[in-house]
Amino acid sequence: MQCIVVGAGLLGLTSAWFLRQRGMEVTVVEQAPGPGLGTSFANGGMLHASQAGPWNEPGVLWQALRMLGREDSALLIRPRVLPSMLPWAWQFLRHSKPVRYHANVARNARLAAYSLRVLHEEIAPLGLPFEQAARGTMKIYRTPAELDAAATAAQRCREWGVRYDVLDAPGVAALEPALADIVAQLSGGVHFPDDVSGDAHMFCRALADAGREAGIRFEYEARATRVVLQHGRVHGVEVDGEMLPAEHCVLAAGAHCAALTRPLGLRVPLQPVKGYSLTLPLRDWPLAPRTPVIDEHFHAAVCPLGARLRVAGTAEFTGFDERLTPSRIENLYTLVKRVYPAGAERIERREAVEWAGFRPMSPDGVGIMGPTPIPGLHLNTGHGHLGWTMAMGAGKLVADALAGRAADLALDDYALARFRA
């Protein structure tokens, strides 16, 4: 059976890999010149079931209002995009009701735990080089009230099998000596030992190489312009005006899936949520960080990737505007100064790689994947701030559903159909 996967990011590549494992003839169509050059290029590097919560937690409206118009805030909404995002924003707010929010945390936590299992059991044996490290992740806090709230939230994660340790400030520095300089400012931290980290772009390149060897065809610098239907089911994909025939198509084009499905009468509710990252060489640092750290105060994360440090965070609603806003990048340099003051003095800005990407975000904060009402058309997108974490599990589930195998998790929880209910 022929299958076209649109998009060679994390979600497209894992879908293609597992489809090939199930005997499909797979072609991946990607508009960029290589794999993992979209949002999967320089993300925060963390695969963390501990962060399963969607961004629309109860009370998000007031948090967002407090941040409105502030260039240094974690969340920024550009006024020009507000009218076009209102229907999505309305749904986003609806899903911040406690009952809905907690149901969505559960969906994400289940998928994240499953995805990490697939990583360890089925992907790790391939031996792909991607700076994988298993030192867990640590969240740090600056007030006792924040630490208490975090400990309560972590307790809820235990239900999903996520282990954690609450640490006082000296305990944080003992686990991560690179934080010793700021120990006096910390109330403590929560360490999640089972989270892992790695470089998503290296992973994409390595999985694409393994996929090519396994028989997947890759078409780069090839733009899917239209999904072609015949008698109401998928007949192929038009790529740069030329028809590529296939019985199945998996759209894994990030937030661009919305534009590809609209002409078919399918509304896939997605917003591109821009995030920024810095990648810094650790060469001259007095004490190189080893453990990925999330600073909840700044809503940002720092993650060692071999000899480099990735600093990532912030959310900006600005459509697909690719420009790097200096104030957003500056926020990330400030974070490094606040977390590793001694290391920050060694930063040579000309060596830093500054980057921005668009998280494909659904209004309930849960991925949108599996079959659609159009026979032969499948989705794997909308994993928002958790796409690296979810990639292995989501790829396998989408492939199993397409190949008619029993899925390990109920796909209904992640189906597009939930937005019509």
Ligand X SMILES: Cc1cc2nc3c(=O)[nH]c(=O)nc-3n(C[C@H](O)[C@H](O)[C@H](O)COP(=O)(O)OP(=O)(O)OC[C@H]3O[C@@H](n4cnc5c(N)ncnc54)[C@H](O)[C@@H]3O)c2cc1C
What residues make contact with ligand X under the rule CB under 6 A?
Answer: 6-12, 29-32, 37-40, 43-47, 223-224, 252-254, 256, 275-277, 312, 357, 359-360, 381, 383-389
* Shortest Å, Cβ 374 to ligand X: 17
Amino acid at 207: L
173 or 390: CB nearest ligand X = 390
Q: Which is nearer to ligand X, 114 or 169 (CB)?
A: 114
3-class DSSP state of 205: helix
The strand pairing partners of 26, in sequence order, are 3
Half-sphere exposure of 304 (CA within 13 A, CB side): 21
Nearer of residues 32 and 407 to ligand X, judged by Cβ: 32
Query: Which residues lie closer than 8 Å to 278 by C-beta, 6 or more apart?
Result: 310, 311, 312, 329, 332, 333, 336, 352, 353, 354, 355
Whether 293 and 339 have beta carbons less than 8 Å apart is answered as: yes
CB of 23 to ligand X, least distance (A): 23
Closest CA to 46 of 359, 389, 395, 391: 389
In the complex with ligand X, the residue whose CB is nearer, 10 or 336, is 10
Q: Give the integer Cα–Cα distance in Å for 17 and 34.
A: 16
Q: Which of 74, 12, 3 is nearest to 38 (CA)?
A: 12
Q: Between 31 and 318, whose beta carbon lies closer to ligand X?
A: 31
**For residues 198 and 202, what is the distance between their CA atoms, to the nearest angstrom?**
8
When the beta carbons of 40 and 96 are compared against ligand X, the nearer one is 40
